[in-house]
């Protein structure tokens, strides 16, 4: 990273030097009446301006790439936390369903022992219906967790594409700078 900063600083200094040298040539050519020296100085100043713009564009692209990477990391952390919370919530719901199922079965067995066989079957059916309802609730929570995970993956893919596009744009700018230089 510091090597990149050093290269950028060197490019900026080189651009400043070229700009000053170009202006000096332009002034010297104007004073001495040498039009070719004036033109050379103007070209050198234009080249320095292009280099300065390319360095600025590359710095902007780097900043965008870093911001996209930071956002990607943050989104990944948030998605992982949301996924973990959803799984924890589903686990809690499942344990509650399991506890309720056990309690309802015990109650149904006590009632069944005191009542006729028909009453016993009806109590057991009610317990099973409630258990299935709680299980459906737990499965719905699990489905919500999967949806959250898919959204996080889609966000991550989008951010990676944006980072790649920013990197490609920076590479194009560097190539334009090299081809103009």
pLDDT digits (tens, 9 = 90+) for 96-111: 999 999 999 888 888 7
Which of 47-51, 82-86, 119-123, 127-131 shows the lowest mean pLDDT across its residues?
Answer: 119-123
What number of other Cβ atoms are within 10 A of residue 15's Cβ?
Answer: 19
C-beta separation of 51 from 14 below 8 A: yes
pTM: 0.37
Domain that holds residue 109: 2-180
Furthest CA-CA distance within the chain: 123
Q: Residue 33 region, left (φ>0) first, then alpha (ψ -120 to 50), else beta? A: left
> Distance between CA atoms of 91 and 94, rounded to whole angstroms?
5
pLDDT at 68: 93
Domain count, the chain: 1
Q: Mean pLDDT, to the nearest integer, of 28-54?
A: 91
Give how far the C-alpha of residue 163 lies from the chain's centroid of Cα atoms, to the nearest Å.
9
Which of 14, 75, 63, 85 is closest to 163 using CA atoms?
63
Q: How far is CA 116 from CA 105, 119, 125, in A?
A: 17, 6, 15
C-beta separation of 131 from 100 below 8 A: yes
Q: What is the mean pLDDT of the chain?
A: 87
Comparison of pLDDT for 10 and 155, the residue scoring more:
155
């Amino acid at each position: 990273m510091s090597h990149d900063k050093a290269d950028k600083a060197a490019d900026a200094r080189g651009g400043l030097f070229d700009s000053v040298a170009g202006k000096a040539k332009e002034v010297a050519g104007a004073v001495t009446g040498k039009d070719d020296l004036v033109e050379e100085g103007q070209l050198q100043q234009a080249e320095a301006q292009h280099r300065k713009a390319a360095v600025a564009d590359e710095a902007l692209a780097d900043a965008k790439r870093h911001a996209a990477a930071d956002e990607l990391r943050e989104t990944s952390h948030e998605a992982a936390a949301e996924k973990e919370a959803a799984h924890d919530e589903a686990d809690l719901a499942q344990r509650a369903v399991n506890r309720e199922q056990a309690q309802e079965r015990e109650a149904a067995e006590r009632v069944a022992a005191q009542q006729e066989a028909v009453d016993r079957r009806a109590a057991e059916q009610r317990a099973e219906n409630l258990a299935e309802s709680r299980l459906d609730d737990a499965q719905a929570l699990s489905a919500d967790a999967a949806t959250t995970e898919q959204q996080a993956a889609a966000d991550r893919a989008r951010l990676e594409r944006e980072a790649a596009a920013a990197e490609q744009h920076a590479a194009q700018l560097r190539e334009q700078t090299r081809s103009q230089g």
